[in-house]
Structure 1
Amino acid sequence: MRKIWLNRWFSVAYHYVNLIRNNEDGERFEFYGTHPSIDHVSLSACDVKETEPKVEGEAYIEFCLDFCRRHGIDLFIPRLHMELIARHIGRFEEIGTRVMVCGDMELLENMMNKEKFYRSLEGKGIVDIPNYRVVRTAEQFAQAYRELREAGETVCFKPTEAEGGMGFRIIKEEAGDPLEELYGWVTLETTYEETYRTLSSVESFDDLMVMEMLEGDEYSIDCLADAAGRLLTAVPRLKSEGRVYQLEYSEELLALSRRIAENCRIPYAFNVQVKYNKGVPKLLEINPRMSGGLYITCLSGVNFPYFAVKAAFGEECRPPEPEFGIKASYVEQAVRLDSVRGGSAVSDH
């Protein structure tokens, strides 16, 4: 039985583990999970769980290597410190542990920084890039805002190194009623004046990408590739209203995925996020890992996490043809953790 370890993942790793465990080939695995909180829900899907130390750099690599040695881990699927771990793949291979991560460090570093990645793709005819500027001072922000507004764009901004929606804001053109906003829903909108005032409070700040607001449909394209980065299958997932998603066949988006795969050669599972503006799909970002909504995409009949694991073990992968035209949603699910005082004792590993 092969052993798989997932370090500090999002809660959706609960689904990844169960998808791999309940694979169509009947392959058996033992799952190990670590997180700073022993009660994190992702760990409840694992056979063995441990508390993860809050350390960085070489200390974290030493923790990972020790964990793999102690438990005889066959495959390590990292999320936390993915770039750091990728730099040390050789050290894991020396102790017999495979690592499911992109080993092309230049590519991985580019994907972790939106400015670098956009520049690496510009002018290659692979995917359209939003109109953007990278700023580090309030005056640069003001100039970027003016230029984008003069080009007829609604403006938004986001840190160049941020995961998911962290730091994303939309600049609204008219200030609303402060009292109404206080009593209303929390939004991602802000004003130019408020942003400029905040940014002016310091001489410089971490790189901020000021860009055109993409106002059309948003798609996450979940992609599966072999260890060499050859695309095996892809499924575009449209985010509709609320919690509704649609798995759609789109030759335009599938062709875009093929171009990205051929150019970048990202292995295993990765996710391409695009959003339309004026009829053109433009790149938001590429996540070189399993996406948060991947378990929804698996309703297509393709067990993405399991086939990514097969690819990481160097095995032949022949995923089935995905089913499209599926509308899906999700609900909260109660998950029992370990028993507490008053119940039967359950020990942690």
Structure 2
Amino acid sequence: MNRWFSVAYHYVNLIRENEEGERFEFYGTHPNIDHVSLGASDVKEVEPEVEGEAYIAFCLDFCKRHGIDLFIPRLHMESIAQNIKRFEEVGTKVMVCGDMELLQNMMNKEKFYRSLEGKGVVEIPDYRVVRTAEQFAQAYRELTEAGERVCFKPTEAEGGMGFRIVKDKAGDPLEELYGYVTLETTYEEAYRTLSSVESFQDLMVMELLEGEEYSIDCLADAAGNLLTAVPRRKSEGRVYHLEYSEELLALSRRIAENCRIPYAFNVQVKYNKGIPKLLEINPRMSGGLYITCLSGVNFPYLAVKSAFGETFPMPHPQFGIKASYVEQAVRLDPVRGEAGAHGLK
């Protein structure tokens, strides 16, 4: 696993502690050897800060040197997917979406929204893509005149990076200085900042979705056939609810049938005026998947089985579960006398 989020620690342990007793040996790389994502790995190495062919060459060499059976990438998924055959030549399967057009679309919100518009798969929020301050002003004006509150985010960004909500009016600066840091900004502040340059990277200005937010974790086989899905609703603070929703499960089935995303993927939607609208789709294990696994479905392990072409009974998740999470202390140095399992790598 390469340069994953910290939650990879949980995914490694979920695969290791699988109910079938299958044994694995885990290898991880990251520029920071003390990154907690490597905490559960049997072998960990420092990853170079390179891109393009140099990064692919590093990954290929790593897989060849260590005899890696399965590579589960997060960083540079597009470049890695373009080179799947090169990994297969050194004996390594890659757990990544191999449909390059689909993968590239999912990495860019504008392209992905356009690819789904008018297909009856999922509702798309009202949006405009802008590159200048004047375009931003026009988009803001059109959306507010349509009765919508407005937010914006870069078309190519992971998670909440660059997301801002445009508030109606400025608050008290002193009170805000002493208060919590928020994602809000005023139209005037945003316009002033964007006006400081002639043009900027694509920004998606869209209606603010103000209803319930769901993260739907999905499991599919190598051909993209959906095997199961679990809607996870974010509540107050750190509380989540694993809920049965036929509307959201049907939405997941439509997305799976239309896109054919393999292995584990995540659909993020948020309601507005009673309608679930698409935020984004992540073609990888989500940051909160370890919470979803409380449903009784070991998503990471079953995704690995799918990557190896193995079949298994259809999973039946439990719903109606309320969950949260706490910080956990993790030893980063090897535990004395601890031996790695010697199985698949």
Tell me the residue number matched to 1:98.
Answer: 93
* Mapped pair 1:148 → 2:143: yes
Partners in 1 of 2:200 and 2:50 — Cα distance? 25
Partners in 2 of 1:328 and 1:279 — Cα distance? 25
Partners in 2 of 1:138 and 1:121 — Cα distance? 27
* Mapped pair 1:191 → 2:178: no
Per-residue CA distance 1:125-144 (angstroms, 9 max, x = gap): 00000000000000000000
Tell me the residue number matched to 2:46.
Answer: 51
Q: 1:73 aligns with which of 45, 64, 68?
A: 68
Q: Which amino acid aligns with 2:291?
A: I
Contact 1:246–1:325 at 8 Å: present in 2 too? yes
* Mapped pair 1:217 → 2:212: yes
Q: 1:18 aligns with which of 13, 17, 23?
A: 13
Q: Which amino acid aligns with 1:304?
A: F
- Displacement of 1:318 in angstroms is 2.2
Tell me the residue number matched to 2:322.
Answer: 327
- Displacement of 1:44 in angstroms is 1.2
Per-residue CA distance 1:284-334 (angstroms, 9 max, x = gap): 000000000000000000000000000000111324310000000000000
Contact 1:302–1:319 at 8 Å: present in 2 too? no
Contact 1:224–1:231 at 8 Å: present in 2 too? yes
Q: Which amino acid aligns with 2:52?
A: G
Secondary structure of 1:193's match?
A: helix
Tell me the residue number matched to 1:203.
Answer: 198
Secondary structure of 2:280's match?
A: strand
CA RMSD of aligned residues (A): 1.3
Structure of higher RCO (CA pairs closer than 8 Å, 6+ residues apart): 2
Q: Which amino acid aligns with 2:5?
A: F
Partners in 2 of 1:317 and 1:308 — Cα distance? 11
Partners in 2 of 1:243 and 1:173 — Cα distance? 28
Tell me the residue number matched to 1:38.
Answer: 33
Partners in 1 of 2:113 and 2:21 — Cα distance? 41
Q: Which amino acid aligns with 1:133?
A: R
Tell me the residue number matched to 1:3.
Answer: none
Q: Which amino acid aligns with 2:332?
A: L
* Mapped pair 1:303 → 2:290: no
Q: Which 10-residue stretch deviates more, 310-319 or 254-263?
A: 310-319
Tell me the residue number matched to 2:228.
Answer: 233
Contact 1:231–1:261 at 8 Å: present in 2 too? yes
Partners in 1 of 2:312 and 2:109 — Cα distance? 31
Q: Which 10-residue stretch deviates more, 107-116 or 313-322?
A: 313-322
Q: 1:162 aligns with which of 152, 157, 167?
A: 157
Partners in 1 of 2:312 and 2:52 — Cα distance? 34
Partners in 1 of 2:138 and 2:303 — Cα distance? 44
Partners in 2 of 1:262 and 1:172 — Cα distance? 38
Any runs of at least 4 consecutive aligned residues in structure 1 with deviations exceeding 3 A, and if so which? 343-346
**TM-score (norm. length: structure 2):** 0.97
Count of residues in correspondence between the two structures: 338
* Mapped pair 1:135 → 2:130: yes
For structure 1, which runs of at least 5 residues remain unmatched after alignment?
1-5
Secondary structure of 1:282's match?
A: strand
Q: Which amino acid aligns with 1:45?
A: A
- Displacement of 1:344 in angstroms is 8.2
Contact 1:226–1:317 at 8 Å: present in 2 too? no
Partners in 1 of 2:89 and 2:281 — Cα distance? 30
Contact 2:227–2:315 at 8 Å: present in 1 too? no
- Displacement of 1:337 in angstroms is 1.3
* Mapped pair 1:121 → 2:126: no
Secondary structure of 1:45's match?
A: coil
